[in-house]
């Protein structure tokens, strides 16, 4: 029966004297320390590229090498290990003793049964991980990329200097907003935002980078914010990633009890600044109105008709 295993190999170089180095034909150059380091790096690089010649470890999903305090740490993670722990520990010790040219007692191997990260399927150490909101293990590198490149950024009107974020594995809006990803096809997709019962959607749009449409949307955004602030209406803007680098989602929410009032203002601004025909044409052709030809217009009209029939 297969299980998850993490083998951690610690290799301490023997820096005093040249005896062992000589025995294995490692040439003396500068200082013993510098020689060891250079030798270690070279060997470990080769191993990283070639993998380990140990048959029980042929399906290794993670192989990492690091240097800490002049020691080399090799971490091997196998999600589907079906060997014998003890036998593999011995093989690893022999292999590294021979490959790294150190005395046997300078190689130690420990074996762990780690938790598996919900995002990358890698190991999560007891003291080096966190968990998802629903309690699954999550490693720190995954947690960090989820927060530093979030799927959504939420900006509340009363704390616009401190944006909140939502990722695949975290959500710091305290339940105000939830995300769902929608695939358009295998490669493309976008997020939709669902508010809690306290919030209502006032306007949903998309930012088309570097276009005239983007400038109009910015104007719409500024005027709408100004008007709502004057009326003391709390709002939140949610910016979401899409699979298109030049396009991001823009969703404007207001506190539900003030929706009617806010709608009056928004519909007036929309009629002036959010022209759906121009938006569709820019979205489909990537051009600003002044550069759009009759062919583009025809193409956009046809494309939107096709999309309507599909939807």
Which of 11, 139, 202, 265 is close enough to bind Zn ion by CB under 5 A? 139
Choices 17-25, 117-125, 168-176, 208-216; region in contact with Zn ion by CB under 5 A: 117-125
Site stretch for Zn ion (CB under 5 A), options 15-23, 45-53, 110-118, 251-259: 110-118
Tell me the closest approach of the beta carbon of residue 122 to Zn ion, in angstroms. 5
- CB-count exposure of residue 42 (10 Å: 0-12, 13-18, 19+): exposed
Identify which of residues 117 and 206 has a Cβ nearer to Zn ion in the complex.
117
The secondary structure of residue 161, as a DSSP letter, is T
- DSSP letters spanning 12-81: ----SSSHHHHHTTPPP-S-HHHHHHHHHHHHHHHHHHH----GGGTT-SEEEEEEETTEEEEEEEEEEE
- Closer to Zn ion by Cβ: residue 128 or 192: 128
What residues form DSSP beta bridges with 64?
A: 75
In the complex, minimum distance from the CB of residue 144 to Zn ion, in angstroms, rounded to a whole number: 10
The answer to whether 132 contacts Zn ion (rule: CB under 5 A) is: no
Per CB under 5 A, the segment of 85-93, 94-102, 119-127, 175-183 that binds Zn ion is 119-127
Residue 120 binds to Zn ion (criterion: CB under 5 A):
yes
Q: 151: exposed, middle or buried (C-beta count within 10 Å: 0-12, 13-18, 19+)?
A: buried
Whichever of 142 and 179 has its CB closer to Zn ion, that residue is 142
Interaction of residue 142 with Zn ion, rule CB under 5 A: yes
d(CA 262, CA 250): 17
| Segment interacting with Zn ion, rule: CB under 5 A, options 40-48, 65-73, 85-93, 141-149 | 141-149
> Does residue 117 belong to the site contacting Zn ion (CB under 5 A)?
yes
- Cα separation, 72 vs 12, in Å, equals 7
For position 119 contacting Zn ion by CB under 5 A, the verdict is yes
**Alpha-carbon distance 177 to 186, whole Å?**
26
Element (H, E) at 221: helix 212-230
Candidates 6-14, 142-150, 235-243, 250-258; binding stretch for Zn ion (CB under 5 A): 142-150
* Residue 51 to residue 59: CA distance in whole angstroms: 10
Residues that bind Zn ion (CB under 5 A): 117, 119-120, 122, 139, 142
């Amino acid at each position: 029966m297969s299980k998850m295993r993490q083998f951690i190999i610690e290799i301490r170089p023997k820096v005093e004297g040249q005896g062992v180095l000589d025995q294995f034909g490692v040439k003396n150059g500068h200082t013993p320390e510098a020689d060891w380091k250079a030798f270690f790096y070279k060997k470990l690089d080769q191993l990283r590229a070639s993998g380990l010649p140990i048959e029980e470890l042929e399906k290794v999903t993670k192989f990492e090498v690091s240097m800490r305090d002049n020691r080399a740490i090799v971490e091997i993670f196998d999600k589907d290990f079906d060997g014998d722990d003890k036998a593999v520990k011995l093989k690893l010790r022999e292999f590294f003793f021979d490959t790294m040219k150190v005395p046997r007692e300078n190689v130690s191997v420990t074996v762990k049964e780690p938790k598996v990260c919900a995002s990358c399927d890698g190991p999560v150490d007891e003291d080096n991980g966190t968990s998802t909101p629903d309690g699954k293990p999550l490693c720190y590198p995954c947690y960090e990329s989820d927060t530093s490149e979030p799927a959504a950024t939420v900006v509340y009107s009363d704390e616009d200097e401190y944006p909140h974020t939502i990722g695949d594995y975290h959500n710091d809006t305290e339940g105000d907003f939830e995300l769902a990803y929608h695939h358009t096809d295998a490669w493309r997709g976008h997020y939709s935002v669902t508010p809690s019962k306290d919030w209502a959607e006032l306007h949903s749009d998309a930012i088309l980078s570097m276009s005239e449409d983007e400038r109009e949307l910015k104007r719409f955004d500024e005027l709408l914010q100004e008007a709502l602030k004057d009326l003391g209406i709390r709002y939140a803007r949610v910016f979401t990633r899409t699979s298109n680098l030049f396009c991001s989602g823009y969703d404007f929410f207001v506190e539900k009890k003030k929706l009617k009032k806010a709608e009056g203002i928004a519909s007036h601004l929309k009629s002036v600044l959010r022209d759906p025909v121009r938006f569709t044409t820019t979205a489909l052709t990537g051009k600003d109105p002044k550069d759009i030809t009759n062919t583009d217009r025809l193409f956009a009209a046809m494309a939107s008709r096709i999309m309507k029939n599909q939807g």
